[in-house]
Chains A and B, each alone.
Chain A
Amino acid sequence: MSGSNGIVVSGLRREFRGGIKAVQGIDLEVAPGEIYGFLGPNGAGKSTTVLMLTTLLPPTGGSATVAGFDVAGQGAQVRRVIGAALQEAALDNYLTAHEHFELQAGLHGMARKQRRARAVELLERVGLTDAADRKIGGYSGGMRRRLDLALALVHRPRVLFLDEPTTGLDPQSRSALWEEVGRLAGDEGVTVFLTTQYLEEADVLADRVGIIDRGRIVAEGTPNALKAAIGQSSVEAVPADPRDRERLADVLSRFGEPASASPKGVAVRLGGGTEELVDVVRALDAAELSVAGLQVHEPSLDDVFLAKTGRSLEGAGDQPAAEERAAVPA
């Protein structure tokens, strides 16, 4: 993939002072123009990986190339072809959006004539034209995120790194950002490496997903393939009369193994897939069982995480976060 817009990572490691191993030998490949979702709880090693791939932190082992350039030995070349919007939008409260563009374009050595035109184009694209001459100090969180994304695009990067880009955004801003990221990959062929702890974000946006836990990739593939690999859909029914719970369990057991359910309900995995739902309804009707609720659960990426690590992704980050503790400069 050398020379293309892809990312190739092999045995990448980062150990911090005190022996904290934030990333423990990860391997991954991102194809040009692909949106790769890097999913994991807080402290899993997502941000440390991004810091290494963007040349902000040297790896302590392994190798990685971005657009064909080695992140350890060709940092300057890597920085020329990447854009990045990191977790905290690093903006200067005393500068306006236009002044940020001037700085960003200047750092990348863009010609003065092109700077203004590119700034106008990007500000319009992220809906900040009216606020372009206001100091950033007065921007909302969503506006800061959008400006940060626009700044990352100023020099037309071939690879874009987005580190939890929608954390703290309202649903409207979140979907607008998703749309823009999708457009960048689809229309402009930009490779996007996106970290997130939101399952929905990875599911909706990413062509492929890598799930990282405690510094190791535990699963990788397309969201559908990952979900299909770990199991079947399940159906959960809640009896209208709680005394019918036993009978309901008997009927449902004909369709598959028991699955976890709410306290009042009974659930089973559907061995034959969601097509069996009609048969389930018929069986309940035949048994004259009245139900207060009937729900089908499709496998989620959380189920994938649960299957691979034995823990749920939501809440997994509550455990001691090696990455956060290690974020102190060594």
Chain B
Amino acid sequence: MTAFGQVAVAVARRNLLVTFKNPALILPAAIFPLVFLLAFAGGLSNLANVPGFSFPSGYTSFQFVFVFLQSAAFGGVFTGFAVAADYESGFARRLMLAAPNRTGLIMGYVLAGVGRFAFTASIVTIAGLAAGMQVDGGVVELGGLLVLAVLVNVVATLFGVGLCMRTQSMQSVPFLQIPVFLILFLAPVYVPLDLLDGWIKAVAPYNPATAFLETGRGFISGEPDHVLVAFAAAGAMVALLGFYALRGLRKAEAGG
């Protein structure tokens, strides 16, 4: 294995070990999406009866996709917290000092983010199925949903890593959460895009989260839509935020 791979695996392993040993780190990441799923899919299920709401797989499936992608995004955000915590505790210095290839550190955090998401995704999926979620998509469509969610997770992790390597402080956590919340909620969360109204209807079509949600919902209902747009947007964001994270690493190196 190359030095890049060795560093990435070591960092990912350590982060997952710390996460799963520490209930305070893993429980919120699992509980929040569950609460959202229960609150939205249960409490708001009558929205499916609104005229013009057309989603053949039912409201639980409609909301599941949002919660699934949201847990992917917040898996990345929580990994950003871990980066900030490493800098505050001084542990990042150990990593910077021992890693022959420091770019591997970013990949390690990305793999850890994916690992966190794998855990919450499993819980959310089990909860969705237990709540009677209807899955009409086949293996390929569901695979597409999973890949899309992983890309969202990677995007959020890269944003978190880039920001926290610059600030090196837990005080940057709000600046990590707020953009992710804004992007997620300026999208058709509760009803399809066509039923949105007012200023949010003007904003939502330009929000990449809209493409992710619509494509994800298309996957679960077996009627994929806007697939290219969603994956192109996700790919572009991975590239852009990958560069942002790399620049963050270089700034951290320059600052000691």
Report if A56 contacts B (CB, 8 A).
Answer: yes
Chain A residues, CB < 8 A from B6: 106-109
Question: Which chain B residues border A79 with CB–CB below 8 Å?
Answer: 97-100
Q: A99-B17, A107-B10, A109-B6 are in contact. Are A88 and B90 (CB under 8 A)?
A: yes
Interface pairs A-B: 6 shortest CB-CB: A329-B255, A106-B10, A57-B256, A109-B6, A107-B98, A90-B94
Q: How far is the CB of B2 from chain A (nearest CB, A)?
A: 9
Residues of A contacting B: mostly: loop
Which residues 90-110 in B have Cβ within 8 Å of A in the complex? 90-101
Residue of B nearest to A105 (CB): B10
Taking the closest CB of chain B, its distance from the CB of A158, in whole angstroms, is: 14
Q: Using a CB-CB cutoff of 8 Å, which residues 209-265 of chain A contact chain B?
A: none
Show 27 A/B contacts (Cβ-Cβ < 8 Å), sorted by A.
A56-B93, A56-B97, A76-B100, A79-B100, A86-B90, A92-B18, A92-B89, A92-B91, A94-B17, A94-B22, A99-B17, A102-B13, A103-B10, A103-B11, A104-B94, A104-B98, A106-B6, A106-B10, A107-B10, A107-B11, A108-B98, A109-B3, A151-B94, A329-B251, A329-B255, A329-B256, A330-B254
A residues less than 8 Å from B14 (CB atoms): 92, 95, 99, 102-103
- Known A56-B93, A92-B14; further 16 A-B contacts with Cβ < 8 A: A54-B97, A58-B254, A79-B99, A80-B100, A90-B89, A90-B90, A90-B92, A90-B93, A94-B17, A95-B18, A103-B11, A106-B7, A106-B9, A107-B6, A329-B252, A329-B255
Verify if B168 is at the interface (C-beta below 8 Å from A). yes
A109 touching B100, Cβ below 8 Å: yes
Chain A residues near B98 (CB-CB < 8 A): 79, 104, 107-108
**B18 contacts which chain A residues (CB < 8 A)?**
92, 94-95
* B101 nearest CB neighbor, chain A only: A76
C-alpha gap A88/B94 in the complex (Å): 10
In the complex, per-residue mask of B1-26: 1 if CB is within 8 Å of any chain A CB, else 0: 10100110111011001100110000
Other-chain residue from B10, B13, B168 in contact with A329 (beta carbon distance below 8 A) = B168
In the bound complex, what is the Cα–Cα distance between A148 and B251 (angstroms)? Answer: 26
Q: How many whole Å from B23's CB to the nearest CB in chain A?
A: 11
CB of A280 closer than 8 Å to a CB of B:
no
Instruction: Write out the residue numbers on chain B whose beta carbons fall within 8 Å of the beta carbon of A90.
Output: 89-94
Tell me what chain B mostly uses at the interface: helix, strand, loop, or mixed.
helix
B223 at the interface (CB under 8 A from A): no
Judged by a CB distance under 8 angstroms, whether A126 is at the interface is no
Asked whether B100 lies within 8 Å of A108 as measured between CB atoms, the reply is yes
Q: Nearest B residue to A80 by beta-carbon distance?
A: B100
A199 within 8 A of B: no
Contacts of A108 in B (CB 8 A): 6, 98, 100
Whether B253 is near chain A, meaning CB under 8 Å from some CB there, is yes
A210 CB, min distance to chain B CBs, angstroms: 21
Given the complex of chains A and B, what is the CA–CA distance between A86 and B253 in angstroms?
16
A51 within 8 A of B: yes
Alpha-carbon distance A94/B99, docked complex (angstroms) = 21
How far is the CB of A86 from the nearest CB of chain B, in Å?
Answer: 6
Residues of chain B from 225 to 244 with CB closer than 8 A to chain A in the complex = none
Q: How far is the CA of A102 from the CA of B253 in the complex (A)?
A: 24
Within the complex, what minimum Cβ distance (angstroms) separates B203 from chain A? Answer: 36
Across the interface, name the chain A residue whose C-beta is closest to B5. A109
**Complex formed: what's the CA distance from A79 to B252 in Å?**
16
Residue of A80, A104, A109 with highest tally of chain B CB at under 10 A: A109
The docked-state distance in angstroms from the alpha carbon of A33 to that of B247 is 38
Chain A: CB-nearest residue to B104 = A107
Bound Cα distance A106, B111 (Å): 15
Q: Which residue of A lies closest to B98 (CB)?
A: A107
Minimum distance in angstroms from B89 CB to a CB of chain A: 7
